[in-house]
Structure formats: structure tokens, C-alpha cells
Structure 1
Amino acid sequence: MSSAQQSPEGKAFLPLAIAILTVSDSRKPETDKSGDKVAELASHAGHQIAARQIIADDAETLRAQMRDWIADPAIDVIIATGGTGVTGRDVTPEALAPLISKPIPGFGELFRMLSFQEIGTSTIQSRAEAAICDGTIVFLLPGSTGGVRLGMEAIIIPQLDIRHAPCNLSELLPRIRYEH
């Protein structure tokens, strides 16, 4: 896609600046397949990768990184992968919780519904979620490449495309930012 592509309604594609946060105690840049998948799908959709980090499963460190990106006016969206399970080391939702201005519960509900079609009841172990944090859209995805693919292709990419009808988060971003 290019910024010149337009929807039938005449809206031109609007590339967004995306920060990618991989949450893992073991991944390195050369083994970060889930972060790579987020970057590949976001870039292919026409968005810009503004930042990328791998951080261990530590709530305070994760929160500090998210807080920095939320405060950065050059970042529109944060997509985190990993740390959304139910074990003691899975702390990504807890790290995000104090930063949330407005939750987007429909994201997690829809993600788990779609995930159920692929992995059955194992989807209950996912705490994937999304929120508005002081004018920045934040998505938390599982650490698996399958979970990343599903969340990105089925939900995030369409919602970050201003041409997606009947509505999308991209077109709301200026209002979201103004209100915060």
C-alpha cells in the first residue's frame, strides 16, 4: 500500500508511526519472530516502524518503556507481543494497567473469539487487550507468531487503516489525541 491509495469514499491511506515492544526473557533481535511478524505486517500495510525494543518480563521496566512511548508525540500506536499469558512471569497487562485512559475491551473479546476458531479453548489463557493511553493506541498481543498474525491481520491492520468502513481507530486518532 502507499499513501496515495484511496478508499471508495476518497480517503487516502494515512501511515501511522508504530512502536513494537517484544516482552521476553529469552528473545534476542535475531530470534524475535513475533516482533518481526508485527514489523512485517505493519510495514506491508504501509505503516512506519518508529521504534522497536525487546524487554524482559518485568512490570516496572515495561511500564517505563510504554510510558516513554506514550509520551512521545511521534508515536501513534504501540504493539506489544508477549507476556499476556497466565503465568507469574506474564506481566504485560499489569504493566499497562496504570497507564490506561480508556480500555478497548472489544479487542480482547474479538481476539479470543477468533482465536477460539484456531486453537479452541486454549484461547482462555490469552489476556490480549487494547487501550487508549493519553492519546496513544496500545495493543497487547500474545508472544506466539500465530497470535500475532491473527491479531494483526484480522483486527489491528484493518482498524489502523483510515479507509476501513464503517469506522476505524485511525480516523479517531486526531480526536483521541485532542481529548487527551
Structure 2
Amino acid sequence: MTSTTTDRPASPPGKAQRRHPDEIVIGLVSISDRASSGVYEDKGIPALQEWLGTALSSPWQVVTRLIQDDAATISATLTELVDDVNCDLVLTTGGTGPSRRDVTPEATLAVASKPMPGFGEQMRQISLNFVPTAILSRQVAVIRETADHAALIVNLPGQPKSIKETLEGLRDADGAVKVPGIFAAVPYCIDLIGGPYVETHAEVVKAFRPKNAVRAAQPDRG
């Protein structure tokens, strides 16, 4: 199977065109006042794209947004990506700490149909293996629903290393999974909300589904 990606950093509003029924459309949102104003180069979106390229074995495309750390802007961007672009999954990076300018969790909850607290709990559990300040992280995840569509929105950390650890999880010296990463649960969540069937490379992160939800092997999507 081959992974496909379309990077559209300045794409106008409009529904994404799927090139395969099981192609997942992923919105990537980097939230930073300084990066969005050109003070420094954004590293969150490139890190996410690189990781998705190694992890996904089924077709995918991304739509990207680099925005300021402002609650109204964040909520509007998430709403656009789900309601207008029809993203199945939206991953944000940045703005989840305790400072006054960190408002990503509040802006995400403001557009939610239902919260998914397990994602935040697991992200902090992973990060606590490295730093005690992981308890200061306030990442949340939610489902946003429209009349005919739904998407999973997940806040991720701001640092590329932390993004990778959070998504993949931790392995011991023998390569066995020690602490599962959050992405292991994402494909089945997408199934449950009516999205495409997402598959992963197990050596990076193994998607978990109950046996009755596992699809028979498909021919290479090419």
C-alpha cells in the first residue's frame, strides 16, 4: 500500500476531494503567535506530516493551517476544517500550557459535540515518563458532529519529539510496547464516527480494533 499526501497550506475553504473511498482527510493546525507572524519557522506541521508518512499505510491527504494563538481564530479554524473541508481527523499542536495565551483546549471544547477525555489522560501519562511537568499540559480531544459528518479533534504537544512520543507511545529495550500511544485508538474511533477505514504500519504504531471490526485484507490501493 502507498500513502498519499496533499499539502495545502493556503488552500481556500471548500470540501476536500477524496481520491479513494478510504482516503482519510486530516487537518493539521499549528497554533503559534510567533510562527504565524513569521518570527520563526513552524516545526509542528512538518513533524506531523513526517510522522503520518511513516505511520499510515492507507491513503491520506492533509490540509494545513498556521494560525495565531487566539481562541476565536482557533475555534473558527477547527469548525472550517470539519464542517467545510470535511476532515475526518484534526490534529492541533501548540497552545495547551497554563499561560494566559494558551487557549487551545478551551477553543477546542467550544466547538465540541462530545468530549473524549481518555486521549488527554493518555497523553499526560506518556509524557510523565519523561518530565514531571507533563501534569501542566492541558490537551483535550473531542468529537465534532454536523448533520452528515463527524470528526475527531485532538490537541497535541508543541515539540516534535513530544508529538512523536505521544502518537507512537513508548517501547522497551526489546521493542515491545510499554505505554500505548494515542494513535493506536484513532482508526477505530474514526470507524465509529462513520469515517474511512484507516490502516497503519504496525512497526510504528499498531491500530487496535476489536476482532469483529477488523476488515479482511484488501488489495494494494496503489
TM tier, smaller: 0.7 to 0.9
Which runs of no fewer than 5 residues in structure 1 stay unpaired? 4-13, 162-167, 176-180
- 1:18-50 deviation per Cα after TM superposition (whole angstroms, max 9, x unaligned): 010000011258722221111111233245233
Determine whether 1:69 maps to 2:81.
yes
Mapped contact 1:20–1:49 kept (Cα < 8 A): no
Counterparts of 1:23-172 in structure 2 under 5 Å?
23-27=31-35, 31-44=41-54, 45-46=56-57, 48-72=60-84, 74-119=86-131, 121-134=132-145, 135-154=150-169, 155-161=181-187, 168-172=188-192
Across the aligned residues of Structure 1 and Structure 2, the Cα RMSD in angstroms comes to: 2.1
Mapped contact 1:128–1:140 kept (Cα < 8 A): yes
Partner of 1:17: 25
When residues 22 and 73 of structure 1 are mapped into structure 2, their CA distance, relative to the original with a 3 A threshold, is closer
Alpha-carbon distance, 1:60 to partner: 0.5
> Match of 2:34, SS?
coil
| TM-score normalised over the length of structure 2 | 0.65
Mapped contact 1:83–1:89 kept (Cα < 8 A): yes
Alpha-carbon distance, 1:125 to partner: 1.1
Which runs of no fewer than 5 residues in structure 2 stay unpaired? 4-21, 170-180, 196-222
- 1:74-132 deviation per Cα after TM superposition (whole angstroms, max 9, x unaligned): 3111000000010001010111122111111111111111110122x110111111110
Structure ranking higher in helix proportion: 1
Equivalenced residues, count: 158
Mapped contact 2:23–2:61 kept (Cα < 8 A): no
Among the aligned pairs, what percent are the same residue?
A: 31
| d(CA) in 1 for partners of 2:79, 2:116 | 18
Q: Which amino acid aligns with 1:158?
A: A
Q: Which amino acid aligns with 1:160?
A: V
| d(CA) in 1 for partners of 2:144, 2:189 | 13
Name whichever of 24-33 and 85-94 sits farther off: 24-33
> Match of 1:22, SS?
strand
When residues 160 and 15 of structure 1 are mapped into structure 2, their CA distance, relative to the original with a 3 A threshold, is farther
> Match of 1:87, SS?
coil
Alpha-carbon distance, 1:156 to partner: 4.1
Q: Which amino acid aligns with 2:49?
A: A
Alpha-carbon distance, 1:146 to partner: 2.2
Q: Which amino acid aligns with 1:174?
A: G
| TM-score normalised over the length of structure 1 | 0.79
